[in-house]
Amino acid sequence: MPVELWRLSEPRGAHRYGLISGLRRLSVFRSMHELTGESRWAAIPALIRAPASYAAALSAMVEENEIRCQLSPWERGRIAWLAQRQEIFPTVEAAVLGLYPSATRQKRNRLHAVARLAEELDGFLTAPERLTERQCLRIESALRAGYGSIIRVALTESRSAEPETQWQLLLPILAEAESQPPEAPANPLAGGASPRSGRPRRMLKPRETLTIRREMTRDGWCLHFTGRHATSALLDEVFDEIERLLGPE
């Protein structure tokens, strides 16, 4: 089958055409020509299409990929985010609508959420394409709840980059985010004391080489000390200070 191309409105260096479908076929032709030097692999049959715009061409490319290889939720969302980032579409919502026109409204809302997730955590997760849609939506919900910095620090400072280890690392953070009641809007007419600004505190970085973050577990709370200055001597001092503050008077 011929590959499908469209003519670029302006050449990009030596490239005059964009590829809509047939990347695997094109890669095989190039590899075979490099290996054998035979002229039959020097050119590939192609059909020239005329999409209405770059956005239409990209939508056709996504549709082609969906037919040949089922994309993961992360990959679908990331494509929409990148399309908006490269100004092919004005907004992520427009990108989702343009790239996945047959998706239901509920499906588009989920794709939009995963696109936000890709924007926040692209490069932090080892194999995000393995995440299920439910896992993606749980992480995105925690990001909206204000746990983005904690999630990024936890992933960055973890000694393991294995996908399953990363997910297990995120589970307590997600559980805490999901256990928090939605914040009530401020009421200037209500009496009583107002909550302290900046509470609850979830992370502290007293030095560039020291990060402290708290984590809710089924048995209570944990404090994680990470960084070069997270030493046994420092923890001894922390214990002494806790004992001074909370011990018997």
Confidence (pLDDT) at 67: 54
pTM for the full model? Answer: 0.69
Confidence (pLDDT) at 58: 66
Q: Quick one: three-class SS letters along 129-159?
A: HHCCHHHHHHHHHHHHHHHHHHHHHHHHHCC
Phi/psi of residue 52, nearest 5 degrees: -65, -30
Matching residue, tokens 């990060």: 211
Q: Give the pairing of strands 46-49 and 3-12.
A: parallel
Let me know if residue 210 belongs to a domain. yes
Q: pLDDT digits over 195-210, tens only? A: 566 678 889 999 889 9
Structural domains counted in the chain: 1
Let me know if residue 69 belongs to a domain. no
* Domain carrying residue 217: 201-249
Let me know if residue 233 belongs to a domain. yes
Confidence (pLDDT) at 147: 93
Let me know if residue 223 belongs to a domain. yes
Number of residues in the chain? 249
Distance CA 130, CA 168 (A): 14
Let me know if residue 136 belongs to a domain. no
Confidence (pLDDT) at 7: 79
Residue ranges in the chain whose pLDDT is less than 70:
50-69, 181-198
Let me know if residue 215 belongs to a domain. yes
Confidence (pLDDT) at 57: 62
Confidence (pLDDT) at 86: 75
Confidence (pLDDT) at 172: 93
Q: Are 6 and 49 in contact (CB under 8 A)?
A: yes
Q: Which are the contacts of 214, defined by CB distance < 8 A and separation ≥ 6?
A: 201, 202, 203, 221, 222, 223, 224
Strands (E) located in the chain = 3-12, 15-21, 46-49, 203-207, 210-217, 220-226
Let me know if residue 88 belongs to a domain. no
Let me know if residue 242 belongs to a domain. yes
